[in-house]
Structure 1
Amino acid sequence: MADFLLVHGSCHGAWCWRDVVPALEHLGHSAHAIDMPSHGSDPTPIADVTLRSCRDAVLSASSPQTIIVGHSWGGYPISAAAEADPKGMKALVYLCAYVPEDGQSMIEMRRKSPRQTIGDAVEKSADGLSYSVKPDRVQALFYHDCPPATVPYALARLCPQATAPQDTPLPLGDQFKQVPKAYIRASDDQTIPNEYQEHMSHAAPQHMRYVIDSSHSPFFSHPNQLAEILDEIASSLPPDP
């Protein structure tokens, strides 16, 4: 069975994977989720968060047998980890996530999208170091198809997102290219447009591209189906030596 590392996106934390971890364990896998720097229980001050520190958090939690799943912005630190140490993981899975292009920051990648969806839904902090999602926009952006209890659960836990790591260009080369990749596209995503996800999914071979009929948060709306797709991805990878 496989070992999964689950990496959250902007403003979230390990808490968003609460339903996926037991679903993967039910299928016989091991799974763990981490808080990225300044998120959840991680004490890093927002001013100290960098793309490098996010990358290192991923690498510290991974092993050569680990399949790393990155959601949304999480596609960046997992890609940085692959570029830094391609032997430190078994594969990358992008879950409605940004797949970086060489030398592009996540903010630059977001601007390349054919449609902009979140510009008026976020507000910058007074010091300009972070941003937050406006509470009245959270459900429509992230959770419109999730169980009713999802929104209050998430609102109590969403946190500011450091801007600096998302504004940092990420050089990628042969190290990154050699790591196997899969992409799970959310067909009803209101955060990253579906057509942009389809474009980015081509970083993975065709047989490793999947679609889930979900909002931007399939970990809440379809945790069991998501776990089954991850199980299928694990089965499609070469066995460990």
Structure 2
Amino acid sequence: MSTFVLIPGAGSSAWYWHLVTPLLEAHGHDTVAVELPYGDESADFGDYVKATLDAIGERRDLVVVGHSLGAYTATLVCAELPVDLLVLVAAMVPRPGESAGDWWANTGHSSPEPFDEVEVFLHDVSEELVAEGWDHVGEQAGRPFEDPWPLTEWPDVPTRFLLCRDDRFFTAEFQRRVVRERLRIEPDEMGGGHLPALARPAELADRLLRYVGELDAHRDDWRIAQTLGE
């Protein structure tokens, strides 16, 4: 059985994963939903990684899942521990030396204008969860957008990318291009917007479970893709 390490995106708590964790655990897997110090202006990526490593403890057979900005932390965790699989969900894909702030211009991303948080992020989340969720989000500190991604290359871990076709923040067309350019793989796709763990937890959990089942085959495909891209 695997341990799913679930890392939230910007300004979000471990609560983001609360509908997904019981679905994974029902199949016998362990889960670790990570609480990051996202509101601490002094916290750097080292602090984010430490919070994640502390939450993991002695667990192994790790599947690390990073949502949105959580990809930065997820990839760094892969450089610290043996990880079976890295899964990025509606996520950023960093390059060496690239801060999360630089990522926007470097990828050519532009946010919707005018920017309405509810329309962009919550359009397919139930009213009940939207109301409950305001107690579990906060202002994201700026430091992760300033510090460069410290790795010199992508971690040597098989990687899957899952985009959301109705994402209004990172659109499907944009994500397809970035993933092909930066990871040299084709992203997988599911329906829904930028917050699938809230809007479509069962579908997201099914995808994660399927990825574990396909791990051996994907490991070979990942290595071939990276070799061809060299």
- Same-fold status (TM-score > 0.5): yes
Q: Which residue of 2 aligns with 1:9?
A: 9
* SS of match in other structure, 1:78: helix
Identify which range, 58-67 or 158-167, moves more after superposition: 58-67
Q: Which residue of 1 aligns with 2:45?
A: 51
* Gap runs ≥5 in structure 2: 218-230
Shift of 1:61: 3.0
Q: Establish whether residue 28 from structure 1 lines up as the match of residue 7 from structure 2.
A: no
* Gap runs ≥5 in structure 1: 40-45, 122-136
Shift of 1:119: 7.7
Q: Establish whether residue 197 from structure 1 lines up as the match of residue 181 from structure 2.
A: no
Amino acid at match of 1:193: T
TM-score by length of 2: 0.84
Q: Which residue of 2 aligns with 1:234?
A: 212
Q: Deviations over 1:99-145 (max 9, x none)?
A: 11111011111223444116864xxxxxxxxxxxxxxx332121101
Q: Which residue of 1 aligns with 2:136?
A: 157
- % same residue: 25
User: Structure 1 residues 204, 25: CA separation in 2 closer, same or farther (over 3 Å shift)?
Assistant: farther
TM-score by length of 1: 0.80
2-structure distance, mates of 1:150, 1:200: 30
User: Structure 1 residues 118, 33: CA separation in 2 closer, same or farther (over 3 Å shift)?
Assistant: farther
2-structure distance, mates of 1:204, 1:56: 29
Q: Which residue of 2 aligns with 1:110?
A: 104
Amino acid at match of 1:186: C
Report if the CA contact (8 A) 2:20-2:205 is conserved.
yes
2-structure distance, mates of 1:95, 1:76: 12
1-structure distance, mates of 2:63, 2:131: 30
Give 2:193's match in structure 1, choosing from 212, 215, 235: 215
Shift of 1:180: 1.2
Instruction: Kindly tell me the number of residue pairs found equivalent between the two proteins.
Output: 213
User: Structure 1 residues 169, 38: CA separation in 2 closer, same or farther (over 3 Å shift)?
Assistant: closer
2-structure distance, mates of 1:115, 1:76: 17
1-structure distance, mates of 2:48, 2:34: 11
Report if the CA contact (8 A) 2:11-2:38 is conserved.
no
